[in-house]
Amino acid sequence: MLQEQGEAAHKALLLEAIGELVGLQKASREGVLPEYDRETMLREINLFPEWFVAKELGRELTFKQRQLWQQTADTLLPPLLAQPKVYVHRDFIVRNLMLTRGRPGVLDFQDALYGPISYDLVSLLRDAFIEWEEEFVLDLVIRYWEKARAAGLPVPAEFDEFYRRFEWMGVQRHLKVAGIFARLYYRDGKDKYRPEIPRFLNYLRRVSRRYAELAPLYALLVELVGDEELETGFTF
């Protein structure tokens, strides 16, 4: 969708997508879709050491690094699982949106689950293939939060708390996608996704540096890939 639009149109189209997302979330009903449970989230983040670390970096985590990883999982997952639940598309990204009579339609529903309310917003605004400035993203997260509150969706009354949940949800997704993109290359021979991995590592370091509770993840990432900003298109 956005690939076919000029830069000036991005915000308007993303706001339309946010409106569609709020509508999807309002229609949520418990018991219709499988739950996005701890087992699923843990399996997803473990793709990071299994595929990115082991295959892309060609390394095995040391005992100390395994401890940092365990601390990360133990800290990250409980608050994500405690978020209010709605229908989660799980791949609500620009590439899965198409314009229908000037409005975005949503494709690729087959992996939908019932899970954390912030997940699809992370997918949309922390995109795997397009990166926007922090201020641009922050403004759109505020717009979503305002629309969600007006629609009666279960988001926190304080924006700071919602933004924290948004960022932590992004950590789970970015660990997963970095692992998936490495797996697509090393197992499936698909190389077009691999150059995007540095974007996720940059996201992960920025967020884990902001929150004291995520210090174990930041320490692990610095040990694995350093603390310098990585260029998209760079491989290890």
Q: How far is CA 25 from the centre of its chain?
A: 17
Q: Classify burial at 192, counting beta carbons within 10 Å of its beta carbon; exposed 0-12, middle 13-18, buried 19 or more.
A: exposed
- How many beta carbons lie within 10 A of that of residue 188, not counting itself? 9
Would you write out the chain's pLDDT as a tens digit for each of its 236 residues? 444 555 567 788 899 899 999 999 999 999 999 999 999 999 999 999 999 999 999 999 999 999 999 999 999 999 999 999 999 998 887 766 654 444 544 545 668 999 999 999 999 999 878 888 899 999 999 999 999 999 999 999 999 999 999 999 999 999 999 999 999 999 999 999 999 999 999 999 999 999 999 999 999 999 999 998 887 655 55
pTM for the model stands at: 0.90
* Dihedral Cα 95, 56, 71, 168, nearest 10 deg: -20
Tell me which H or E stretch contains 156.
none
The one-letter amino acid code at 162 reads F
Count each helix (H run) and each strand (E run) in the chain, helices first: 9, 4
Domains of the chain, with CATH numbers? 2-225 (3.90.1200.10)
Classify strands 97-100 and 85-88 as parallel, antiparallel or unpaired. unpaired
Q: Give dist(CA 94, CA 3) in Å, integer.
A: 8
